[in-house]
Amino acid sequence: MSKKASFLPLNLSLASFLLVLLLLLCVVVVHGAHEKKILSVHNNIWSPTKSNEASTSCFSHNLVKERESSTTLGMKHRELCSGKTIDWGKKLRRALTLDNIRVQSLQLRIKAMSSTTTESISETQIPLTSGVKLETLNYVVTVELGGKNMTLIVDTGSDLTWVQCQPCKSCYNQQGPLYDPSVSSSYKTVFCNSSTCQDLVRATGNSGLCGGINGLEKTTCDYVVSYGDGSYTRGDLGSESIKLGDMKVENFVFGCGRSNKGLFGGASGLMGLGRSAVSLVTQTMKTFNGVFSYCLPSLEDGASGSLSFGDDSSVYKNSTSVSYTPLVQNPQLHSFYILNLTGVSIGGVELASSSYGRGIIIDSGTVITRLPPSIYKSVKTEFLKQFTGFPSAPGYSILDTCFNLTSYENVSIPIIKMIFQGNAELEVDVTGVFYYVNPDASLVCLALASLSYENEVGIIGNYQQKNQRVIYDTKQEKLGIAGENCSI
């Protein structure tokens, strides 16, 4: 008895020793095994051979069956509008340069907006968008305006929807015919004395001017949206029936652009999804409840995706559940959708920072996500710690964490997550982690960049929004995010 009993403590301590050892091992293993995903290195560039002939047209099909109060449009990458063979290397490198210029002008605009204490007219005189922005606005949808198919560039950062209009003083080349108000029975002129005309102040930064065009009486509401680089659209406001998929909205107010210049190449015009009264979202509030969402495809997938209007979540093909975060209210930056970034994790490792809790803009027009320098620095450090053993390469433009992966087939990359107020989570898709500066993968870089200064406002770019369902609910002032394969 006593002999047996004397073994007991030893057994116990051995057991607990082994247990502790096991636990320690577990911790080490769990710690060492960071959350990762496999990237197929050479499968990440779109080529025409991967896609069928039809997809090289600018026009997109609206395939999805509509519900009572929702509609879904097919969305395409604008590269497909050009109809030309694309030199991807050149294109990809140019996009980075333009993206940088765009973010710099955006920061200047934010600074100007924030420094005005009163909401004066001068504040709204700042150009809404830069021409550069328009070139980086990559996605187009097809809608019916007055019964005619029009391809529009999608922009969450501006408000007025416009198309090139007959008779046209000066128009750039577009696919398909120009919109002609004279042959549409549903077209109406918006008069200068209307409240709609006055709403233009907020939307475009230029008050609605009373003008007369082509011998009309001086009653039209003229608009100008001017862009930093000399691009602009100029014309008069009209209203028309617009059909988004199967859903028709009457008396939709839009800009009839008689003189348009800039980098809108191929498209008929632009769809404004910002927050002011003339925005498509606000104008269709009764029909769609102020809700729209998109799923941005990665170009390499053959460039299909979707833009949905309405709050029927059954049209989403999300693969994870939707998590919501409040839209931050900032009266000075009223044209932006702003979120509250509360954390970033790399491969499951949460990064500490004192720069969380400030607003970060979510934008469909910026390509590369910009983070405050302190956050970017810890992202870079942790990423390099986990993504080891690959030949490094020199930085390019705004990107400074680069590799030569040309001789690899598959690489395992740490999962990047951005966390927002309310624990909403954006898990960056595997196609949104590396930017290919050279299409042969001899220069690929972490597709995140640092702002110049700690006090600048961060931006979530469209590269990190690929293969996500992003839901803008302007009525409940919240934004939802879920994983979704956009190319289905």
Active site (catalytic) residues: 155, 363
By CB under 6 A, name the one of 13, 116, 381, 410 that touches ligand NAG.
410
Read out DSSP for 354-391? TTTTSEEEE-SS--SEEE-HHHHHHHHHHHHHHS-SS-
User: How far apart, in whole angstroms, are the C-alpha atoms of residue 342 and residue 425?
Assistant: 10
Read out DSSP for 267-328? -SEEEE-SSSTTSHHHHTHHHHTTEEEEEBPPGGGTSEEEEEESS-GGG--BSS--EEEEPP
Residue 321 lies near ligand NAG (rule: CB under 6 A): yes
Shortest distance (Å) from residue 327 CB to ligand NAG = 10
Residue 16 lies near ligand NAG (rule: CB under 6 A): no
Residue 408 lies near ligand NAG (rule: CB under 6 A): no
Residue 322 lies near ligand NAG (rule: CB under 6 A): yes
User: How far apart, in whole angstroms, are the C-alpha atoms of residue 67 and residue 315?
Assistant: 8
Shortest distance (Å) from residue 381 CB to ligand NAG = 24
Please, which residue, 5 or 54, has the CB nearer to ligand NAG?
54
Q: Decide if 298 contacts 467 (C-beta within 8 A).
A: yes
In 3D space, the residue among 70, 71, 53, 51 whose CA is nearest the CA of residue 62 turns out to be 71
Shortest distance (Å) from residue 10 CB to ligand NAG = 49
Q: Decide if 484 contacts 306 (C-beta within 8 A).
A: no
End-to-end CA distance of the chain: 71
By CB under 6 A, name the one of 16, 116, 319, 412 that touches ligand NAG.
319
Residue 340 lies near ligand NAG (rule: CB under 6 A): yes
By CB under 6 A, name the one of 39, 58, 59, 296 that touches ligand NAG.
59
Options 98-106, 140-148, 153-161, 233-241: segment touching ligand NAG (CB under 6 A): 140-148
By CB under 6 A, name the one of 25, 30, 111, 147 that touches ligand NAG.
147
Please, which residue, 243 or 258, has the CB nearer to ligand NAG?
243
Measure CA 323 to chain center: 18
User: How far apart, in whole angstroms, are the C-alpha atoms of residue 45 and residue 251?
Assistant: 42
Residue 219 lies near ligand NAG (rule: CB under 6 A): yes
Q: Which amino acid is at 129?
A: T
Shortest distance (Å) from residue 7 CB to ligand NAG = 51
Shortest distance (Å) from residue 296 CB to ligand NAG = 18
Shortest distance (Å) from residue 472 CB to ligand NAG = 16
Is the CA virtual torsion 311, 57, 158, 372 positive or negative?
A: positive
State which of positions 148-167 bind ligand NAG (CB under 6 A).
148-149
Give the tokens for residue 487.
């190319």
Structural element, H or E, at residue 30: helix 2-32
Please, which residue, 228 or 480, has the CB nearer to ligand NAG?
480
Read out DSSP for 204-225? HSSPPEEE--TT--TTEEEEEE
Shortest distance (Å) from residue 112 CB to ligand NAG = 21
Please, which residue, 135 or 456, has the CB nearer to ligand NAG?
456
Residue 184 lies near ligand NAG (rule: CB under 6 A): no
State which of positions 357-376 bind ligand NAG (CB under 6 A).
357, 359
In the three-class reduction of DSSP (H, G, I as helix; E, B as strand; rest coil), residue 62 is classed as coil
By CB under 6 A, name the one of 13, 320, 381, 392 that touches ligand NAG.
320
User: How far apart, in whole angstroms, are the C-alpha atoms of residue 115 and residue 119?
Assistant: 10
Give the interface size with ligand NAG as a residue count (CB under 6 A): 31
State which of positions 416-445 bind ligand NAG (CB under 6 A).
421, 442
Beta strands per DSSP E along 65-206: 71-77, 139-145, 148-155, 162-164, 188-189
Residue 477 lies near ligand NAG (rule: CB under 6 A): no
User: How far apart, in whole angstroms, are the C-alpha atoms of residue 366 and residue 138?
Assistant: 10
Q: Which residues bind ligand NAG (CB under 6 A)?
A: 38, 40, 59, 61, 144, 147-149, 191, 193, 219, 313, 316, 318-322, 328, 340, 342, 357, 359, 404, 406-407, 409-410, 421, 442, 482
